[in-house]
Amino acid sequence: MARTLKPLPPLLAAIRDFDTCTVANTIEQFNLRLRNEGFSDSGVRSVFPELPLIGYAMTARIRSAQPPMTGRLYYDHLGFWNALARQPAPRVLVAQDIDRTPGIGAFVGEVHAVICQALDCVGYITNGAVRDLPAVEALGFPMFAGGVAVSHAYAHLVDFGQPIEIGGLHVEQGDLLYGDRHGVLSIPAEIADQVPAAARALRERESKLISACRSDDFNLDRLAALLEPPSR
């Protein structure tokens, strides 16, 4: 049975009203980073396209191809769970699989998803693999991954709280991440509160352009006027 989730903070709910493509276009207008940065590549895909996520990153590095040096693996990470519970909510577990071949085993399946939800974690992002798809989807727990695996193999934590990279996206502890069917996007903290209004204005401009292109009196002069970049 899916756990009842806490309501999103108003700002995050307002951002989630727009898809990641619109938010990515909005962030570009602030010229804070290069246009080929701040989002995951096509190697990390939404496992459940109808389940978006937005929240603050809890970073970790994992392996599954070989047993851990200490003999501890899979669920018995009390230090990690305690650290996760101290992070700002809503929390997103983001784990870089650092094996030579990522995704041999899945770190998160049904049991880990249930534990994460109990700790106000709203989703999981990895370049590795996930499993138990029907059970996790029934929980309403979003997952973004490089693939799917049958087994957890020797899945274990290497460390946590460090900067990582997932599908070309640099992620640091506490980063605000937004993921939907298009991929995962990092939202700069310094402009997060401005994103909803800027995205709304962008959507309005795009709607005018689309309407003009569909109208019977469409012409190139009108197109040129609509394509003129807005002044900031």
Q: pLDDT tens digits for 203-223?
A: 999 998 889 899 888 888 888
Domains contained in the chain, number: 2
> For residues 215 and 141, what is the distance between their CA atoms, to the nearest angstrom?
42
Across the range 21-27, mean pLDDT stands at 98
- Same domain? For 62 and 162 the reply is yes
| Closest residue by Cα to residue 44 from 32, 31, 53, 35 | 53
Return the minimum-mean-pLDDT range out of 11-15, 78-82, 182-186, 189-193: 78-82
- Same domain? For 88 and 43 the reply is yes
- Same domain? For 183 and 206 the reply is no
Across the range 128-141, mean pLDDT stands at 98
Q: Is 8 part of any domain?
A: no
8 A C-beta contact, residue 99 and residue 109: no
pTM of the full structure: 0.92
Show the DSSP H helices in 7-109 as ranges: 10-16, 20-28, 78-86
Q: Is 2 part of any domain?
A: no
- Same domain? For 84 and 158 the reply is yes
| Closest residue by Cα to residue 179 from 40, 29, 7, 59 | 40
Q: Is 42 part of any domain?
A: yes
**Cβ of 11: how many Cβ atoms within 10 Å?**
14
Paired residues of 134 in beta bridges: none
- Same domain? For 157 and 207 the reply is no
Give percent of the chain above pLDDT 90.
78
Q: Is 161 part of any domain?
A: yes
Cis peptide before 90 (omega within 30 of 0): yes
- Same domain? For 108 and 146 the reply is yes
Q: Is 12 part of any domain?
A: no
- Same domain? For 37 and 100 the reply is yes
> For residues 227 and 44, what is the distance between their CA atoms, to the nearest angstrom?
32
- pLDDT, residue 78, reads 82
CATH (domain of 63)? 3.50.30.40
- Same domain? For 45 and 128 the reply is yes
- Domain of 203 in residue numbering reads as 196-227
- Same domain? For 203 and 149 the reply is no
8 A C-beta contact, residue 171 and residue 186: yes
> For residues 140 and 45, what is the distance between their CA atoms, to the nearest angstrom?
17
> For residues 123 and 212, what is the distance between their CA atoms, to the nearest angstrom?
39
Residue type at 68 in one-letter notation: P
- Same domain? For 66 and 100 the reply is yes
- Same domain? For 151 and 207 the reply is no
Mean pLDDT of the chain: 92
Asked whether the predicted pLDDT for residue 198 surpasses 80, the reply is: yes
- Same domain? For 82 and 155 the reply is yes
> For residues 31 and 35, what is the distance between their CA atoms, to the nearest angstrom?
9
pLDDT higher at 153 or 225: 153
Would you place residue 224 in the very low, low, confident or very high pLDDT band (cuts 50, 70, 90)? confident
End-to-end CA distance of the chain: 48
Asked whether the predicted pLDDT for residue 232 surpasses 60, the reply is: no
Q: Is 95 part of any domain?
A: yes
